[in-house]
Structure 1
């Protein structure tokens, strides 16, 4: 697929700012961003017009008076900005503004990028070739397994994997790509963990990978924060891969953001009778690129990004990723039988999947999964293909 002219322009490397901001100017930037009515576009316009945040802050009162505002514009107090930056420092995070080095160049070229990000970890990952993988929180075992295959192959091809640290597909993508590079975009403050069970994963990404958010420390994510997070995911990546998404899934917001930003949208087709595939199959009907392996994605992105084909050849991949255990040990050994059955059913779909994959996805021991499958088999709710493959029976 040949790159469109606008895509060639979009992915052409842009010169990054080279001037480091002083501590005083960084504080002024944050105060400007946190002042009334100063959005991403206004922030850049003020900086460009006055030559810096300090001078822009000084000009704000006069600007608001001339505009006929009914009351003086609220300017963020210095003490408030200092407390916010100190909270970020305590969490190990750094404020990164659009007007300074290391801000993600790809995101900076988006329309109205976040004027500031809090980042923690390996900042160099933010300007590396990258692909986002997102999908259902309530994913199937087959979807999680496929995600790990995609993420491992992207890592071998030299791509950083970006995702949103949600349950399901996002988690599988991050866990697999941690050894080679992953970026986790979160909806709330960088010092908070959501969902709570990702405390260890988020901590590892904050040291081995890179955490990103535009929200201040201490802010608990609300519904409105997740679409903003999804736009950053799309903005950081050269392409977005959707693995599983229901018809009204929030994952589709990321696909729309990617499309709006001129990124390539890829969708992995699913079984027509699996509701978790309704969104992905719908994206394909709407023009998303159908993919079944990571090589399909790399083949499309390589010419758009102007990458050296030899560098991203699978035959010359990097060191192999460490082998994953066939099944994770059960974190809930005393789960009630009915709850085990529900967890196994949630991991199953029309596509055949291994018992080990079900155990890994559900967090239940292989023995407990086998017991639940025996009950489902006797009730006629599953189909077995050989000894180890099982699928939900479609009636």
Structure 2
């Protein structure tokens, strides 16, 4: 407890700098793979505080790995910092990287001699591109014992529910013709697309409750007086497990074939992105929640009613004992992410105070894992057994 008080004081001593960084990242609002200034701001902060930093890892220009210590265990905090088009940091990523960097520096300054390896991994493109999957392929997560991050939300919890997802590009190829003079000579690719979306709408009547299929038409033709020869759409399938997603993919492919058969078009289906569900490590989640309570933070149970999305953190949780926790930055108001209202919360006085509490909770959890061999063993055993108690 005494060391946690020291950690808390160390984080308090840098909180103005942390808030300043978060505000700057909010102002920059750099999109996925374009987070050059945001990434540099965070990695410079770590480097200036004694961490060894390697930038541009895994072939991603805006990634980084910061490290201090050499021994096992290896504990990694993950940083995100990309924004959304139009609404900016409406998912609060301006806070995520700051919390991880602040926790790492606060812990390091309090403990002085670190007898394990503490890392911060800068992960670009969570919103569009799944940067963590690229880092996994590059071996950045090899040999890591525990990975953690905290995401802004309307509640505080160590737990997460996140759908597995696959994102598809659907294309139909027809034949153009004048829509008034010679319509019978055309093969209408837009008809095929409308048939597909109508079929998906009907399929939803038979889908399980926790399944989502949604999409947009990205190309519906170029001119109203020309039979469209080409159309495209982006469609996502989400479910609680990747097995369910794959089962529904078979149905989607049948619908695409059916739309082609009815319209006379050819088709092409491309899987553009896939992310597995988040696998919650219960002992690790409970440890974060205990530290939230120690700091006076109200902990809320994670439920489906709070809304469920998808994240590339799911890929990390499948290979490393990990958690994707949440911190309430909305002062109890139920504000969905990806809205302008949530963006306001991510740049609010209350939000920044919550960010500092979460930074402390993350640092406290580093201490618990690194100083308690029994806890680390429990975390690893839970992961190896693939238990699903949540």
Specify the TM-score bucket, using the shorter chain as the normaliser. under 0.3
| TM-score between the two structures when normalised by the length of structure 2 | 0.26
Which structure has more relative contact order (CA 8 Å, sep 6+)? It is 2
Instruction: From the two aligned structures, give the one with the greater strand fraction.
Output: 2
